[in-house]
Amino acid sequence: MGSSEPPNIDTDRLLVAAVLAGAPGAFETLVRDYQRLCWHIINRMVRHPDDTRELCQDTFLRVHRYLHQYRSESPLKSWIGQVAYSVARRHLERKRIPIAEPAAGDDPLSLVEQVSDGFDLEAASANAELGAALHEEIEALPPLQRTVLTLYHLEEVPIPEIARITGLAAGTIKSHLFRCRARLRGRLQARIGVTV
Amino acid sequence: MSTERDFDDEREQREWRAQESAVRAERSGARAGGDPDVAQYRLIARALRNPPLDPLPSDFAVRVAARVGRESPSANESVEVWLERALVALLLLAGGAALFVYNGEALREMSFSLPERTALGMQTIASWSIAIAACVGISAVFALPKKP
C-alpha cells in the first residue's frame, strides 16, 4: 500500500472493474497500491533483489491474467498477497529451499528468563550493535516465519488475513508469531544479559 | 485473534499478552512504560517493523504495467475471434450456396450413405456414446478455470 489510506472492498471492486474494462492507467494504479505488500512478501521469502524483482513482476502478470477470477468476498490485498506468496513458495520449492523449519517440540520460553529489573528501551534501541544482532537473528529465521512476522509487524496485516495469504490455519500463524518472538527475546537476553 | 485463550499455560498467556502489548505500543508510538517484559518485546517489534529489505525500484509499477501492455494477449485474441467469426460466416455462406446450386440433391445423396437405423447394434450405440462422453469430458476439463 502506498502512503494513502488502504483501499477498501468498494474501491477494490471499482479498481478491478476498471482494469478488466481496460481503462488506461488502471492496472498501473493497482500495481502502485499493492507493490509494497507484494515486494515485502517476496523479498522476505527469497531475500534476493533480482529474484524479488522477477517474481514480483511475475506475480502482477498473474494478477492481470487471472483478475477476472477475483471475487470481492475477500480483500484484494489478501488475494494479491496469496498470489505473491504462492509464487515465492514455488520458487523456493524449485530451489529445494525449506520454507519452514520442521515442527519441533522445544519450548520457546525455555530461553526466556523472567526479568526482575527494569529495561531501558530507548538505550537498547540506540545500541546499534544490539540492533544489528537482532536483525541477524531475524534473518536466520526460516522464510515462512520471516514473512509472517513482516506481514504482522510491518504491514499490520491481521492474523486471519495472514492465514488466508499463506493458506495456514490462524492458530498456526499465532503459534509462529508467539514462538518466534519468544525465541528472539531469549536470544536478545542472552546478548544483553537478563537485566540492562 | 489477539486473546491469550489459545494458550493453556499461564506463563505462555502472560508472554503472549506482553508480546501483543508491545505490538500495540509500537503501532501507536506510546512512551516506554515500566513493564520490562513489554519493553523487551517492544525492542523486538521495532526491529521487525524495520527489516533489512531490498529497496523497491521507484519505476516498478510503470515497468510492470508496460510489460503487461506488451504481453497482453487481448489484441491477438480479438484478431483470432474476428477471424474465427469470419470463417464461420464463410462456411455458412458456402453451405447456403451449395444448397442453392444443387437444390438439395447433395443432402439426399448423403442420407443414402447413412446406415439403416435397424442395422445399428447396441455395441455401435455404446461405442459412439462413450466417444461422445469422452469428448465432452475432455472439453470440460480444459474449460475449468485455472488457479492464479
For B3, name the nearest residue in chain A, comparing CA atoms only. A174
**Chain B residue numbers touching A158 (CB-CB < 8 A):** 1
Residues A80 and A116 in one domain: no
pLDDT value for A32: 96
**Sorting pLDDT into bands at 50, 70 and 90, what band is A2?**
very low
Residues A28 and A81 in one domain: yes
Residues A152 and A122 in one domain: yes
pLDDT value for A195: 43
Average pLDDT value for residue range A14-37: 94
Residue A100 lies in a domain: no
B48/A35 CB distance under 8 A? no
Residue A37 lies in a domain: yes
Say if the ipTM goes beyond 0.95.
Answer: no
Most B-contacting residue of A52, A57, A58, A64 (CB-CB within 10 A), to test interface: A64
**Chain A residue numbers touching B60 (CB-CB < 8 A):** 31, 35, 39, 53, 56
Residue A2 lies in a domain: no
Task: Please write the tens of the pLDDT for every residue from A30-65.
Answer: 999 999 999 999 999 999 999 999 999 999 999 999
Q: Is the pLDDT of residue A101 over 50?
A: yes
Residues A118 and A46 in one domain: no
Contacts of A78 (CB under 8 A, 6+ apart): A161, A164, A165
Residues A82 and A114 in one domain: no
Residues A62 and A133 in one domain: no
Question: What are the helix (H) ranges across chain A?
Answer: 9-20, 26-46, 49-66, 76-94, 121-126, 128-139, 143-153, 159-166, 170-192
Residue B34 or A61, more confident = A61
Q: Is the pLDDT of residue B124 over 50?
A: yes
Contacts of A3 (CB under 8 A, 6+ apart): none
Contacts of A35 (CB under 8 A, 6+ apart): A56, A60, B56, B60, B61, B64
Residue A102 lies in a domain: no
Amino acid at site A146: R
Residues A74 and A147 in one domain: no
Q: Into how many domains does chain A fold?
A: 2
pLDDT value for A190: 86
Q: Is the pLDDT of residue B145 over 90?
A: no
H or E segment at B70? helix B60-71
pLDDT value for B77: 62
Tell me the nearest-neighbour CA distance from B91 into chain A, angstroms. Answer: 32
Task: Please write the tens of the pLDDT for every residue from B67-114.
Answer: 888 876 655 566 777 888 888 999 998 888 877 777 666 666 665 555
Give percent above pLDDT 70 in chain B.
Answer: 74
Residues A15 and A48 in one domain: yes
The residue with cell 520449492 is A93
**Sorting pLDDT into bands at 50, 70 and 90, what band is A3?**
very low
Q: What is the CATH number of the domain that holds A25?
A: 1.10.1740.10
Share the mean pLDDT of chain A: 88
**Chain B residue numbers touching A45 (CB-CB < 8 A):** none
Residue A101 lies in a domain: no
What is the span of the domain harbouring residue A155?
Answer: 108-192
Residues A140 and A70 in one domain: no
Q: Is the pLDDT of residue A196 over 50?
A: no
pLDDT value for A1: 45
- The DSSP secondary-structure symbol of A25 reads T
Last residue of a domain, one of A66, A94, A122: A94
Render the burial of A64-97: b for 16+ CB within 10 Å, e for the rest.
Answer: beebeebeeebbbbbbbbbbbbbbbbebbeeeee
Residues A115 and A187 in one domain: yes
Residue B144 or A121, more confident = A121
Residues A74 and A114 in one domain: no
B15/A135 CB distance under 8 A? no
Residue A160 lies in a domain: yes
Q: What is the CATH number of the domain that holds A139?
A: 1.10.10.10
Tell me the nearest-neighbour CA distance from A10 into chain B, angstroms. Answer: 22
